[in-house]
Structure 1
């Protein structure tokens, strides 16, 4: 019996090794088609859907759902949806924009999502985003109250005809997208700042120690940021000045190629806190 068990274990290990080698070969020799015109295999879609469902269920379990039936909340959610969501997900009688039609995997039809998922799941997905789908984390662009407004609107979305949707899309701007008021701001958090560096695309231009991202960098490395005497050669390297630079680089240094990315005050505090952990003396 023990001999049979060992043989079975060896067979499983050998199968796993062969499968691993095969996967490496498929990637290394370019056999896997990464083009967006080639859909994933059915097994890949199934794996992604299963991972999404289980991950969201685990992480949204403690989300507390507020009252979502207020007309004002639903109306503001409709405006936010029209401003930020319809371009990829469409709406009754409204097709997604051309760029969204080429995404792979395709953006979900949110009418179906609103029918199939509880409000807590929709809030978590909207707030946190989903990797490898093109779905961004809206927590860096909208407040939690605004995200709940979107959820409130999505709950009524399945009931709307094209005419109903056009009526709700009244062309008015959504309520202010300002983030936390000054009295609710906290001290900078380096862990939150490290996460925010991805959300503001810092890693697409800069090499940042300890932060993974694109390899084709166009800006200077941020290694040793804590030790530098100046920021962009324009002002003394202090936490307050670094936050100013992150939020409005063009106002600090005229003609800079660093764009204004709409960094919130709290996110600027967090990013600065992380960048000040990057010291050459710690190497």
Structure 2
């Protein structure tokens, strides 16, 4: 009996210590959506989620000959039920979705990573504690299949294709984005740490890999770890703080063909975001950037 009590006490103490450690290191004391999950906790949740849903989705039955479809009917169904949270090619999610934790991912990337059965499973069942609703009982099975087919087709759609399908008129041709910017922002007062927070609250991490921000392994937009050190922004603008601000504020004004949407970022916010990108990688014309290039050239010369 004494041995049993001893084992019970040790087990109870172990659970208390483990639970306390999980609570502390998992930052469960900070439940606000303004703070992100610790990296290890996020990856653990994703690992369990994908394992469980992957097994469950194997039981989903799809019609024979099921294939991706992008037509006006499926596009309008997507715009009505999915785009408010997930956005579309060149179209940002609604403001309320940008501050969610976790951020609803762009579905063009999801389509390249998940099977049609898994996509249908998420549409029908939703996902607890994620903001993803279950559409079972509110959409017919045929409509959920149409949504699945459209999501599967998303990677093949350009922003112009998407707008054409949902019936929005094309905007008038813009001027060449390589010209001088008319947006003037006070970059001297920019705060890089505030920029990091703003990039998370505007869901930049849902499309881009960004050091310091936790999120899924995405393959929608380019990795931003070296965005600040590139000679050109979007391939057309010389890399200067003012041009970086201009690009962040209104990407389609710089490149009408870009899939990056206008997120309603103010000049002051864009200056903070630019400061964070330059903190990750100094601009090419800065002293730090030149020193890094010189060091890289020196290493390359030694290797010859």
TM-score, normalising length: structure 2: 0.48
Deviations 1:38-81 (A, max 9, x none): 1111122112211210111121111112233485x854221110
Q: C-alpha distance in 2, partners of 1:68/1:31?
A: 43
Which residue of 53, 68, 79 corresponds with 2:50?
53
Task: Determine whether 1:92 maps to 2:89.
Answer: yes
Quick one: distance in 2 between partners of 1:74 and 1:62? 28
Tell me which moved more, 62-71 or 136-145: 62-71
What's 2:62 paired with?
65
Q: Distance in 2 between matches of 1:45 and 1:70?
A: 31
Gap change, CA 1:11 and 1:79, over 3 Å in 2:
same
State the TM-score, normalizing by the size of structure 1: 0.51
Deviation per CA, 1:174-211: give whole Å up to 9, x if none: xxxxxxxxxxxxxxxxxxxxxxxxxxxxxxxxxxxxxx
Note closer, same or farther for the CA distance 1:153–1:26 as it changes in structure 2 (3 Å cut): closer
SS in 2 for 1:157: helix
Gaps of 5+ in 1: 1-9, 172-283
State the structure with bigger RCO (CA 8 A, min sep 6), 1 or 2.
2
Specify whether residues 74 and 117 from structure 1 end up closer, same or farther in structure 2 by C-alpha distance, changes over 3 A only.
Answer: farther
The 3-state SS of whatever aligns with 2:19 is helix
Shift of 1:18: 1.1
Count of residue pairs brought into register by the alignment: 162
1:20 aligns with 2:24: no
Report the CA distance shift for 1:153/1:31 in structure 2 as closer, same or farther (over 3 A): closer
Unaligned 5+ segments in structure 2 are 1-8, 169-304
Aligned to 1:133: 130
Q: Deviations over 1:109-150 (max 9, x none)?
A: 101100100000000001000011100001121011100000
Going from structure 1 to structure 2, the CA distance change for 1:164 and 1:155 (only over 3 Å counts) comes to same
- Deviation of 1:13 (Å): 7.2
SS of aligned partner of 1:106 = coil
Q: How far off is 1:169 after superposition?
A: 1.0
> Does the 8 Å contact 1:123/1:147 carry over to 2?
yes
Aligned alpha-carbon RMSD (Å) = 3.1
| 1:76 paired residue among 52, 73, 77 | 73
Asked whether the 8 Å contact 1:68–1:74 carries over to 2, the reply is: no
Give the equivalent residue in structure 2 for 1:143.
Answer: 140
Instruction: Tell whether the 8 Å contact from 2:68 to 2:153 is kept in structure 1 after alignment.
Output: no
- 2:40 match: 43
Number of the residue aligned with 1:103: 100
Separation (CA, whole Å) in 1 of partners of 2:78 and 2:50: 23
